[in-house]
């Protein structure tokens, strides 16, 4: 049987139509969102739409930008609880009330227009301005641990600076991340801004993350996550702002207020079940106050594991690398409640137990592995100098976050100099360093590896010099 040219044309038309329908209608597994408010089928489409939005946004006045940011905050607050619930349901990580606190914090304390400033130089030769101007279209790769809070925080900071953003959320947090992004996009439009200032693909994957990193129309990359994504972004050849992992040590010396230290360490280390990169991950306590500190922790919701119980727990929560002397957290227990983790080794505990503690030596896998679980190793040391020395080792040069409980200014100063952390919290829970119960603004993207530190709107700008030369008289 021969096929006519007309038949061939009809077949080609049918195939094209099928393909178009496939991209127009989400596949069943992608039914979490529709192709609207910034969601696209491909990275190319997401970047094109954001590029167009960026050009339109540049035409708006600063007053309009301020109105848009206000509306983004209002929308984030109105949906903070819904997004917190979605995040826990989808990722299985953390606690709803703590996710809610993070969403609110990002909405209220991420800096806006006031963070941008213009420097001026005037003299006989005229007037020169050094202005904060946007990068353009930013590719932002976001984590599973603070999904909605990072989208709220990054969107407010980056749009304040005049950028459009293409997100590649963590695949395990795509529903909540995309929902947050769509709500914020709607807020921008409602406040008079263009559509698609924030975009994403419907189904983010490692593949789309890599495509974003290589896309020619992405002017800067902002990655928030573990070591692998930081490494991948740093080889992209683009401007990169990288927020990588931490392993924050806590040092407690003999001058510490033990009741405050015990309470604050439990509060910080159990917040959102320890998934925050800034949360207390290991404690080095001077021998003479170790028992007192543990007693205070036990009063405040900690549960101590001894000897064989700890061995049992390690079998459950740690996975050993097949070749290297390296351990990984068992993903099934990351971000889970302490009571759930205890149950896995046959210990019944109620919800008042928020944190598991155990004494370990300094070179223990729990000390040097970023677990992201409410399980906190405690190491006794002879003196504060040893504590600081071990803290430096455990922090592994991330220069991320460190915490110290001490009334001794000399010791606090020694610790600050030795760690060189981006956030150093003294006599408080770690989250005070994010502006939660501590002074200062909030960010969920703490860029240690590339040196920007705590990011805000001005981090997402380049300095542009505008020169008006005086007329010769
Ligand atoms: P993750 O590294 O698994 O994922 C983060 C993002 O990177 C995701 O969108 C993921 O899809 C992408 N990704 C991962 N590997 C990649 C690769 N090889 N190439 C391209 N893209 C890749 O991290 P997570 O589990 O979502 O978050 C927890 C980690 O993030 C912890 O290590 C934590 O300390 C860190 N974190 C750091 C900050 C900070 O501000 N410094 C904030 C939150 C989380």
pLDDT, residue 21, reads 44
Distance 394 CA to ligand 1 centre (A): 20
426-450 pLDDT, tens digit each? 999 999 999 999 999 999 999 999 9
Do residue 107 and residue 255 come from a single domain?
no
Atom in ligand 1 nearest the alpha carbon of residue 204: 11
Tell whether 371 is covered by a domain.
Answer: yes
pLDDT, residue 326, reads 85
Count other C-beta atoms under 10 Å from residue 314's C-beta. 20
Tell whether 26 is covered by a domain.
Answer: no
Helices (H), 59-165: 62-78, 80-91, 96-109, 147-160
CATH number assigned to the domain comprising residue 302:
3.40.309.10
8-39 pLDDT, tens digit each? 554 554 554 444 444 445 555 566 788 899 99
Our answer on whether the CB atom of 257 is closer than 6 Å to any ligand 1 atom is no
30-55 b/e with 16+ CB inside 10 Å = b? bebbeeebbbbbebebbbbbbbebbe
Do residue 300 and residue 416 come from a single domain?
yes
Tell whether 427 is covered by a domain.
Answer: yes
Tell whether 392 is covered by a domain.
Answer: yes
DSSP letter string over 376-413? Answer: EEEEEESSHHHHHHHHHHHHTT---EEEEE-S-HHHHH
Q: From atom 19 of ligand 1, which residue's Cα is the shortest distance away?
A: 229
In the DSSP assignment, the letter for residue 95 is: -
CA 67 to chain centre: 26
Do residue 266 and residue 415 come from a single domain?
yes
Tell whether 142 is covered by a domain.
Answer: yes
Do residue 460 and residue 429 come from a single domain?
no
Query: Does pLDDT of 214 surpass 70?
Result: yes
Do residue 257 and residue 283 come from a single domain?
yes
Q: Supply the mean pLDDT for the chain.
A: 94
Angstrom distance (rounded) from CA 293 to CA 285: 8
| Average pLDDT of span 349-363 | 96
Angstrom distance (rounded) from CA 71 to CA 74: 5
Question: What is the pLDDT confidence band of residue 324, given thresholds at 50, 70 and 90?
Answer: confident
138-150 b/e with 16+ CB inside 10 Å = b? bbbbbbbbbbbbb
Task: Indicate the burial class of 377 (C-beta count within 10 angstroms; 0-12, 13-18, 19 or more).
Answer: buried
What is the total count of domains within the chain?
Answer: 2
- The lowest-confidence range among 31-40, 284-293, 369-378 is 31-40
Do residue 187 and residue 265 come from a single domain?
no
Q: Are 358 and 375 in contact (CB under 8 A)?
A: yes
Do residue 127 and residue 232 come from a single domain?
yes
Tell how strand 453-454 and strand 446-447 pair up.
antiparallel
Range of the domain at 296: 249-440
Angstrom distance (rounded) from CA 444 to CA 154: 8
> 183: part of which helix (H) or strand (E)?
helix 174-190
Tell whether 3 is covered by a domain.
Answer: no
User: First and final CA of the chain: distance in angstroms?
Assistant: 90
Distance 168 CA to ligand 1 centre (A): 11
Atom in ligand 1 nearest the alpha carbon of residue 447: 41
| Average pLDDT of span 107-116 | 97
- The lowest-confidence range among 138-147, 173-182, 323-332, 443-452 is 323-332
Phi, psi of 220 (to 5 degrees): -155, 150
Do residue 170 and residue 284 come from a single domain?
no
Our answer on whether the CB atom of 276 is closer than 6 Å to any ligand 1 atom is no
- The lowest-confidence range among 8-17, 152-161, 364-373, 426-435 is 8-17
Do residue 393 and residue 415 come from a single domain?
yes
Q: Are 421 and 254 in contact (CB under 8 A)?
A: no
- The CA distances from residue 309 to 121, 273, 306, 313, 324, in Å, are 66, 20, 6, 6, 25
* Pick from 301, 315, 300: nearest CA to 346: 315
Angstrom distance (rounded) from CA 369 to CA 321: 12
> 16: part of which helix (H) or strand (E)?
helix 5-24
* Pick from 152, 4, 171: nearest CA to 83: 152
Our answer on whether the CB atom of 437 is closer than 6 Å to any ligand 1 atom is no
Q: From atom 44 of ligand 1, which residue's Cα is the shortest distance away?
A: 225
Query: Does pLDDT of 1 surpass 50?
Result: no
| Average pLDDT of span 285-311 | 97
pLDDT, residue 17, reads 43
Q: Are 109 and 443 in contact (CB under 8 A)?
A: no
Positive or negative, the Cα torsion across 121, 122, 123, 124?
positive
Do residue 45 and residue 191 come from a single domain?
yes
Do residue 196 and residue 96 come from a single domain?
yes
63-95 pLDDT, tens digit each? 999 999 999 999 999 999 999 999 999 999 999
Tell whether 354 is covered by a domain.
Answer: yes
Distance 221 CA to ligand 1 centre (A): 13
- The CA distances from residue 412 to 212, 381, 473, in Å, are 42, 17, 59
DSSP letter string over 247-287? Answer: --EEEE-TTS-HHHHHHHHHHHHHGGGG-STTS--EEEEEH
CATH number assigned to the domain comprising residue 188:
3.40.605.10
| Average pLDDT of span 335-341 | 98
pLDDT, residue 323, reads 74
- The CA distances from residue 373 to 16, 185, 356, in Å, are 49, 33, 9
pLDDT, residue 150, reads 98
Do residue 267 and residue 213 come from a single domain?
no
* Pick from 397, 319, 331, 400: nearest CA to 365: 319
Our answer on whether the CB atom of 140 is closer than 6 Å to any ligand 1 atom is no
Atom in ligand 1 nearest the alpha carbon of residue 169: 9
Tell whether 20 is covered by a domain.
Answer: no
Q: pTM of the prediction? A: 0.93
Q: Are 161 and 116 in contact (CB under 8 A)?
A: yes
Give the residue, 1 or 472, on which the prediction is more confident.
472
């Amino acid at each position: 049987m021969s096929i006519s040219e007309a038949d061939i044309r009809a077949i080609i038309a049918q195939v094209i139509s099928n393909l178009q329908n496939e991209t127009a209608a989400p596949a069943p597994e992608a039914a979490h969102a529709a192709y609207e408010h910034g969601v696209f089928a491909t990275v190319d489409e997401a970047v094109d739409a954001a590029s167009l939005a960026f050009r339109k946004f540049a035409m708006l006045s600063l007053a309009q930008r301020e109105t848009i940011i206000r509306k983004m905050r209002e929308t984030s607050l109105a949906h903070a609880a819904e997004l917190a619930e979605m995040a826990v349901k989808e990722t299985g990580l953390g606690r709803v009330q703590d996710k809610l606190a993070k969403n609110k914090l990002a909405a209220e304390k991420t800096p806006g227009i006031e963070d941008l400033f213009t420097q001026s130089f005037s003299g006989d030769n005229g007037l020169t301005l050094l202005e904060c101007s946007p990068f353009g279209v930013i590719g932002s790769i976001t984590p599973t641990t603070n999904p909605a809070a990072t989208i709220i925080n990054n969107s407010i900071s980056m749009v304040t600076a005049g950028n459009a953003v293409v997100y590649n959320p963590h695949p395990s947090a795509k529903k909540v991340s995309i929902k947050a992004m769509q709500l914020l996009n709607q807020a921008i439009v409602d406040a008079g801004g263009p559509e698609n200032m924030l975009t994403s693909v419907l189904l983010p994957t490692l593949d789309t993350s890599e495509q974003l990193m290589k896309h020619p129309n992405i002017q800067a990359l902002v990655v928030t996550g573990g070591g692998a994504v930081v490494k991948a972004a740093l080889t992209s050849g683009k401007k990169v702002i990288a927020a990588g992992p931490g392993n924050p040590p806590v040092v407690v010396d003999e001058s510490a207020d033990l009741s405050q230290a015990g309470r604050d360490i439990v509060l910080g280390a159990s917040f959102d079940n320890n998934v925050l990169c800034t949360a207390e991950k290991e404690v080095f306590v001077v021998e003479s106050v170790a028992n007192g500190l543990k007693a205070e922790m036990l009063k405040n919701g900690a549960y101590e594991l001894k000897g064989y119980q700890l061995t049992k727990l390690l079998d459950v929560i740690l996975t050993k690398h097949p070749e290297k002397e390296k351990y990984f957290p068992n993903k099934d227990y990351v971000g889970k409640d302490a009571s759930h983790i205890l149950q896995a080794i046959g210990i019944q505990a109620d919800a008042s137990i928020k944190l598991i503690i155990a004494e370990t030596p300094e070179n223990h896998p729990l000390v040097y592995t970023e677990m992201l679980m409410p399980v906190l190793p405690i190491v006794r040391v002879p003196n504060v100098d040893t504590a600081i020395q071990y803290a430096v080792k455990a922090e592994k040069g991330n220069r991320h976050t460190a915490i110290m409980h001490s009334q001794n200014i000399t010791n606090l100063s020694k610790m600050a100099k030795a760690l060189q952390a981006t956030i150093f919290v003294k006599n408080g829970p770690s989250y005070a360093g994010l502006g939660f119960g501590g002074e200062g603004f909030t960010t969920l993207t703490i860029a240690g590896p590339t040196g920007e530190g705590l990011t805000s709107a001005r981090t997402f700008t380049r300095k542009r010099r505008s020169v008006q030369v005086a007329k010769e008289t």
